[in-house]
Structures are given as structure tokens and as C-alpha cells.
Chain A
Amino acid sequence: MRDVAPVAVVPRKRRGVELALIIFALGLALGAYALVDLNVTGELSTAFPYVAGICSLLAALAHIAVRWRLPYADPVILPCVILLNGLGLVMIHRIDLINEPPLNGARQQLIWTALGVLMFILVVTWLNDHRPLQGFTYTIGLAGIVLLLLPLVPGLGTEKFGAQIWIQVGPYSFQPAEAAKVLLAIAFASYLVEKRDVLALAGYRVLGIDLPRARDLGPILVMWLISLAILVWQRDLGTSLLFFGLFVMMLYVSTERAGWAVLGTLLFAAGAYFGYLNFSHVRRRVGAWLDPFSDFDAYYQVIAAQFGMAWGGLLGTGLGLGRPGLTPLARSDFIAAAIGEELGMTGLMAVIMIYGLIVARGLRIALQCREPFGKLLATGLSFALALQVFTIIGGVTRLLPLTGLTTPFLSQGGSSLICNWIVAGLLLVISHQVRKPAATVTPINPDVEQTQLVKAGV
């Protein structure tokens, strides 16, 4: 018999590609930063070399961490994240310059970016493998639900802009839903991998759809009630949609039963309709979406964003040459409108496509992954990002009613930025575990390992 050497497929590491893309992303972001300075004040600010240095250092550190600990990770996600974060920094700097004297929002955001990159590096170097997370299903899940409901604790939660999704500790405010998103995605993934066989048992067949057994409806009803609680007491349709959508999608993927998706969509529609009937803030959001010009003062923010994007048109006014300051909250919730105004609809669509690239890469990792936990976690994280981008950018451009979600990596705010860097880190960790070559063992050939016979009595 002829010996056939086992074929080991070793994927290319692609770290050089990642470095080139990072340099491209940094060039774009820093060029835009310089352009803002030149267009608004006519000269580069004295802080520019420091900003450029710090951004380059942070990008280099993130890249080195990936090169060192995750050599087989996906090469596209990190540059996309750096570009989005850089663009967010640029827009916040641009809005800082509207005020006289300029505000320090960009400096604050740079500090948050540094913390985000630090968390990314910790995930990459210290966690390095997502599978041990499966051992802490209930701890992580409980922590996630507590964080999600924390803003409802009297004295701790504070109401900002009509939604009670913030907690205030001393001078620091924090949006716990962002951290809860990461924790619950991990918890759902490991819970569902464990329970999917039980949940997939078909109960009743109604109109060609397999519905689950009544006793298995527990978890979906609990998540539905929590989402409803967020809608009712935290008054935020977006957060509630994000979590319920995430859960239903993961339930569907793990059990492969379309009945869950149908049931979940119906339950959410019922909840949203209930909210519309009973709460004035939900009705106001829907009013601003359907017919903003019916009440100019009440719907001023949505209208101002529309005016900005219309004025920017297809190609935009140019960085630093528009008037994004006329839209309230342009640096956080409405940063997509500021981008639409200054970089034009083309620029906004480019930003949407960068998000699309990250989501596509994440789902690709999920398809390639060979164990169910990594598959489900990668799908959950990518889909949550897609849903969040869809909800907030759709809200700003009047595709959907406006909600209080943050624009990932772009809008000002530490909790969101840090948590999204952790999501990026987790996706890279999974992709490295998927793509790295399996450890091979040299097969033992018994014919070669002969026992030596030693003649007796010599």
C-alpha cells in the first residue's frame, strides 16, 4: 500500500493585507481630520500631530496584538472598525469647532477610543479562545439581564431625552444596554446550544408551521416580557427591538425552526402596537416618522436632520463646510445625519457599506465555524450589529421611527464604543479559532516500530 501524506490545508494568515488596510483607513481618517481643521479655521490645529500620533499608536497596538495572538484572524474587520472610529472622531471634532471656544468632545472620544482598544487587546490576548465562555452561561446571562434592567432602579437610572436607558454613578453616566448586548449574546449562544434539542421538539403544527411545546415557551416569554418592560418603563423601542430581535434570531438559528421566527415577529408586533396605543412617547416617535411637518416644533430634530441631508445632497457640502450644528444631538444620536450633510448621501452610503462589510465578514465566520457555540455567537454578534445600524440609521433617515440606539463606533459615548470594540475582538477571536490549522499528530506506523530481537546467550 502506498503511503498517502495527509493533506493539511493551511489558510493564509493575511496579516500584511490587514496592515495595508489599516494604513489606508488611518490615512482616510487623519486626512479627514486635517481637512476639517483646514476648512473651518484655515490652519492645522496644534493638537493635530498628537491626535495623529495617538491614533496611529492605537491602531499599531491593536494590529500587533492580533499579529501576535490571532495570526489567522479575519483581516478586514479591524481596518473597518478603525475607519469607522476615526470617522466618528472626525465628525465629533468638526461639531466641537462650531462652538466658540471649541468644545473638547473629540479629546474625550479619543480617551474612550484608547479604552476601547485596550479592551480589544485584552480580549485578543487574554481571552484568545471563545469556548471557555460556555462555562459561565447563567452568570453571564444574569449579569446581562441585571445590567439591562439597572436603569429602572430608582435613584440610579436617569432619564435623558425621554428614555430611561442611562445610569448615573457620581459624575459618570453609563448606558448599560450596550454591555448587556455583548453579555446576552454570549449567554443566549451557550444556553441555546445546550437546549436546542429540547426546543426543537415540535409541539403543534398550525398552518404548516411547527410551533414549540407550551412548556418550552418559557424562555421566549421571559425575553418578551423583559423587552416589553424596557419598552414600557425605559421608554425605548430601539433597545427593546434589539434584544428581542437578537434572541428570536438566535433561537431560530439554533433550533432551525421557522416557527420561532414567525412567533417572535408576531409577539414583537403585538408589543409595539400595544406601546403605540398606550404611550405618548411611542406615538410621538411614530408621528415624527410618518409626517414630521405636521408639527414643526415637536419634530424639530428629525426635520433639521432632513434639511441637513437634503442640503448636503448627493456629494455633500464638504467636511467643515456644512452646518450640522443646527441638528440637536448631532454628535451622538444624529451623527449619521451630520455625515450625510457634510459627506453627502454618497458618504453616508459608504459608511453603511463599511458596516455591511463587518456584518458580512462576521456571518462568514459563522458559516465557516465548525462548533455550534462559535457559530451561534458569531451570528448573534453580527446580526445585532446589523440590526442596530439598521434601526438607528433608518431612524435618522426616516426609514423607521427614531429610537435611542447609538451608532456603533461613530457616535460619541464611552460605553457604546468600548462594548463595540469588545464585539470586534470577539469576532476576531472566533475567526482565528476557525481558520487556524488543526494541530496535527504524526500518525504512528506500527510496521516501523518493530521490537528488536536480541539473541539470547550471546
Chain B
Amino acid sequence: MNKPIRRVAFVAMIMFALLLANGTYMIIFRQSTLDTQPQNRRVRDA
């Protein structure tokens, strides 16, 4: 059963890589627009 387990491990690796990539994407591309939103109470009150 080792071959399918390796494939499952590969799928798990892809899932974790997607989470990390999404975090990176969020900081690089979404952060600045989110921080300038008028509805953002954190930035508004700061």
C-alpha cells in the first residue's frame, strides 16, 4: 500500500502548499487594498 500512501502524502503536501501560497498572496496583493477600505474599523480607529 506504500505507493498510494505516497500519493496521499503528495496531496497533503499540495494542500499545505496552497495554504501557504494563499497567505503569501494575501499579504502581497490584498493587504494594501484591505487596509484602505473605509469600512475597516481597525485602520479607521488607529
Q: Indicate whether A249 reaches chain B with its CB closer than 8 angstroms.
A: yes
Determine whether the beta carbon of A356 is less than 8 Å from that of B22. no
A interface residues with partner B (beta carbon < 8 Å): 249, 252-254, 256, 293, 296, 303, 306-311, 313-314, 322-323, 326, 340, 345, 348-349, 352-353, 355-356, 359-360, 363, 366-367, 372, 375-376, 379, 382-383, 386-387, 389-390, 393-394, 397-399
Provide a sorted-by-A list of 7 A–B residue pairs whose CB atoms are within 8 angstroms: A252-B4, A256-B3, A360-B9, A367-B6, A387-B15, A390-B18, A399-B18
Q: Which of A253, A307, A314, A356 contacts B34 (CB 8 A)?
A: A307
Determine whether the beta carbon of B42 is less than 8 Å from that of A394. no
Q: Give complex CA distance A293, B36 in Å.
A: 13
Determine whether the beta carbon of A310 is less than 8 Å from that of B1. no
Q: Which of B4, B12, B24 contacts A386 (CB 8 A)?
A: B12
Report chain A residues within 8 Å CB of B34.
Answer: 306-307, 310
Interface string of B1-23 (1 = CB under 8 A from A): 11111101100100110111011
Q: Is the interface of A mostly helix, strand, loop or mixed?
A: helix
Q: Which of B16, B18, B20, B39 contacts A303 (CB 8 A)?
A: B39
Closest A residue to B14 by beta carbon equals A390
Chain B nearest CB, measured from A195 CB (Å): 14
A-B pairs with the 6 shortest C-beta distances?
A310-B34, A390-B15, A399-B22, A386-B12, A253-B4, A311-B42
Report chain A residues within 8 Å CB of B19.
Answer: 352, 389-390, 393-394, 397, 399
Q: Give complex CA distance A379, B12 in Å.
A: 11
Report chain B residues within 8 Å CB of A310.
Answer: 26, 30-31, 34-35, 40
Q: Give complex CA distance A440, B37 in Å.
A: 69
Determine whether the beta carbon of B27 is less than 8 Å from that of A363. no
Chain A nearest CB, measured from B19 CB (Å): 5
Report chain B residues within 8 Å CB of A345.
Answer: 23-24, 26-27
Chain B nearest CB, measured from A268 CB (Å): 14
Determine whether the beta carbon of A397 is less than 8 Å from that of B9. no
Determine whether the beta carbon of A363 is less than 8 Å from that of B12. yes
Report chain B residues within 8 Å CB of A387.
Answer: 15
Q: Give complex CA distance A69, B6 in Å.
A: 30
Q: Give complex CA distance A376, B12 in Å.
A: 15
Asked if A296 meets B39 with Cβ closer than 8 Å, knowing A306-B30, A310-B30, A363-B5, the reply is yes
